[in-house]
Structure 1
């Protein structure tokens, strides 16, 4: 069994035993490898974001939170290729790129057979230019959307003019390969779109933002016809933009 297959099998072994912990010795015997190998594998899973944890002392060992993981998913070769292409687009310029990277690692660890070969072959044929979006800006926007927090922005418009804005984030719009933060701008007292690669700085204020309807903020703008991407249909609430 190669390491990728073993990592996947380790997760399933821990899931099957959950919430009961398994010792490194028991896992090593199960996969017929040394305890150091198992320890390295478990540390690699933890570093990749898999919710495994260790409990020291008598009766302890390694376990996994089944509520934080998905059951096994069998991808076809076409589905695996589609995922590889979609994840390639999630470079450092897009929101939640860090989470996309760890998701890609988990998917890669779970793929086997033709699906794995198809995804890896396509991945070898995709390249991307470096991003111009500041990672600190992206992280601040992600956190503000997750926690509904007000942001203070330093923004450079298309003419190169810089201005300071205090905004209440409502959502994200993607168009023509660009990402925009859609927010209520307190400075302009209106809904505005801020292109992520034109945000020079983004600082959380710690203040809770008022709720704003994304569709209402887009009314009268170039983004008024925006709709939820089809791929997100099963995740999005039953309402239309």
Structure 2
């Protein structure tokens, strides 16, 4: 059993026994690991903010308050990493932003490798530039795009960024003219109330920004993309000063 599965199983075991405490020795025997391993796992759960506590003396041990926790939910590595980044990136003006950021901290505290590495890599590839009124990528004036990006296209963009694979886009500019592009994603930029895919465009042989709500179709490929530095692609553009959101710095 890997550490992620064991952490979830520990919570389930404590919830099932609650409010009766369980000893470290019993938990170690249950999961067939050393008592020191269980002790570290329980400390990690506490650091993540779960209501896990230890009591000393006769009949003591570790317990959890089931009234203040949700039942464990199992995430894939990609889901856990993406959720951590998305929660941490929640804007300060967004409702429940503070709760979202503390939830991200709890997730980050228990993420095992390689999910933690995936989360840190995603966090480094998201930048923000508060600049309303103009298109910071130099691809045309802002405005309402001709079509909203559908769920399938959004999912394809997300997979290509996370997996560093080439993406085939159908994109409509501000005038509604559509074109097809093969791009190598570098990351995401948020600016002026919009989100942009920043990528190396093979058609233009240069870095380009593609507003997400103007991407009308996106088809993933299995071809590995080159590793393009996000800051380098933004260099010389109005978005050159974009920086990672402060909340992502802790990941």
Structure-1-length-normalised TM-score = 0.49
Higher RCO (Cα < 8 Å, 6 or more apart): 2
Structure-2-length-normalised TM-score = 0.47
